[in-house]
Amino acid sequence: MDTSSKSQTSQSSLIKIPPSIHELREQFFTIQKDRPIILPEAEFNDTFKFFDNMVVQRQKYEGFDFITEYWSCRLWGSKVPKPRVSPQKRQRVCTTRTPIGCPYRIRIVRKKGQVTISALKEPHNHNIEVLQNKLSSGVREILGEQVSYGYRPSEIARNLKSSRNGNTEALELTGNPQPNYKHVWNCGKEWIHQHPDPRI
Are 89 and 74 part of one and the same domain? yes
Domain that holds residue 166: 135-200
Looking at the structure, do residues 33 and 125 belong to the same domain, yes or no? yes
Residue 22 and residue 98 in one domain: yes
User: Which of 130, 164, 181 represents a domain boundary (last residue)?
Assistant: 130
Whether 179 and 197 share a structural domain: yes
- Asked whether residue 108 is domain-assigned, the answer is yes
Q: Name the band, by pLDDT with cuts 50, 70 and 90, for residue 96.
A: low
pLDDT tens, position by position, 155-181: 999 999 887 888 888 898 888 999 999
Q: Do residues 24 and 136 lie in contact, with contact meaning Cβ atoms separated by under 8 Å?
A: no
Please indicate, yes or no, if residue 116 is contained in any of the structural domains.
Answer: yes
Residue 48 within any structural domain of the chain = yes
For the chain, the domain total comes to: 2
> Are 50 and 126 contained in the same domain?
yes
pTM of the shown model: 0.81
pLDDT in tens, 45-72: 999 999 999 999 999 999 999 999 999 9
